[in-house]
Amino acid sequence: MVIKCPLCGSEEVVFWKKGNFDYEKAEAEDFKITDSDYGLFPSLMRCENCELRFAAKMPSPTQLVRLYSEVVDPEYEGEKEGRGENFYRILTYMEKLKKPGTLLDVGSATGILMELAEKRGWKTKGVEASKWACEVASSRGLEVYNGDFLDYPESEKFNAITMVDILEHLAAPGKAIEKAGRLLKPGGLLVIVTPDIGSITARLMGRKWWHLRPPHINFFTRRTLKWAAENYGFKILKVRNYIWNFSLHYLVTRFGIGRRYFKFGLLKKIKLKLILFDSMEGYLEKLH
């Protein structure tokens, strides 16, 4: 069987890294936003054309929809304040480029970004696969479509679309970017946050890089993002490093020893700002 790159469609792909995770054995627990199975990942291919790294054996679209629809992740809500800081920074930069208008948040989870955007004058809608997350968002009065982004209706055009930590989860990232283009008005803004597998951090950490985990099935470099923008009708306005805001409690409990010994709440009050230089935040303008 010929393997093609899921971003550019090229058949010029080579084996890149041997993994240790089989999607046939995957469960919804493996696909939580807050999963911490670092170093557990599928074997990866490398596209010689656009530099995308992607799972040699992709899970089927049906399997992905089922797994994500079953995800329940209350720990995500536990870090609402820190995640809000992450999103606040994105919204602030977006508004330097475009005035608030209509916004579609793809992979909206429980609606933290949407809720912040609404307070700043944006009119939001979301797309989310997890039934649990959609219920939480709906309880806050937010409008979220429960399902696959590729199935989202194309009857409305938006001023901006956010895809924060989403592309690395998708079996067809090219189709997702192409669809985002169809949903945007000319001059609309597409915001992409995704791990940078070409970063110095990723190269130094190797197999222990924290973005190498079961839910991540493809990885961009800055060159990959540039290729996607140029070939799907966008112009890159800005690419910068993503900044993480989390509590010390969340960070130490990402690892086994932390989960065993740091369960008390005091660490939740200690807030940290991290620049790991391994996730990129891209702002793309639709050309036509």
- Share of residues in the chain with pLDDT > 70 (%): 90
State the average pLDDT over residues 12-33: 94
Angstrom distance (rounded) from CA 141 to CA 187: 29
Model confidence pLDDT, tens digit, residues 214-254:
999 999 999 999 999 999 999 999 999 998 766 555 556 65
In this structure, of 140-149, 163-172, 273-282, the range with the lowest mean pLDDT score is: 273-282
**In the predicted model, is pLDDT for residue 122 greater than 60?**
yes
Range 131-146 average pLDDT: 97
Domain count, the chain: 1
CATH code for the domain in which residue 32 is found: 3.40.50.150
pLDDT(117) > 80: yes
Among the listed ranges 41-50, 207-216, 260-269, which one has the minimum average pLDDT value? 260-269
- State which amino acid sits at residue 48: E
The answer to the question of residue 225 being in a domain is: yes
Distance CA 178, CA 42 (A): 25
Would residue 1 count as lying in a domain? no
CA distance 114 to 95: 14
Query: In angstroms, what is the C-alpha Rg of the chain?
Result: 18
Q: How confident is the model at residue 1 (pLDDT cuts 50, 70, 90)?
A: confident
Name the H helices within 54-152.
61-69, 74-78, 80-97, 112-119, 131-139
Q: Which two tokens stand for residue 56?
A: 């040699």
Q: Domain for residue 217, yes or no?
A: yes
Token reading at 90: 């994105």
Check if the beta carbon of residue 3 is closer than 8 Å to that of residue 56.
Answer: yes
Domain annotation covers residue 264: yes
258: confidence class by pLDDT, cuts 50, 70, 90? very low
Q: Which residues, 6 or more positions from 4, have their beta carbon under 8 angstroms from its beta carbon?
A: 10, 11, 13
Q: Considering the chain, what is the average pLDDT of its residues?
A: 91
Q: Is residue 8 part of a domain?
A: no
* 52 belongs to a structural domain: yes
Q: Per the domain annotation, does 50 fall within a domain?
A: yes
Which domain range does residue 128 map to?
Answer: 13-286
pLDDT value at residue 145: 98
- Residue 129 backbone phi and psi in degrees, to 5: -85, -35
Residue 2 lies in a domain: no
Q: The tokens of 72 are what?
A: 């329940």
d(CA 210, CA 204): 12
Q: Which residues pair with 17 in a beta bridge?
A: 44
Question: What's the pTM?
Answer: 0.91
pLDDT at 257 over 70: no
Q: Which of 185, 184, 180 is nearest to 164 (CA)?
A: 180
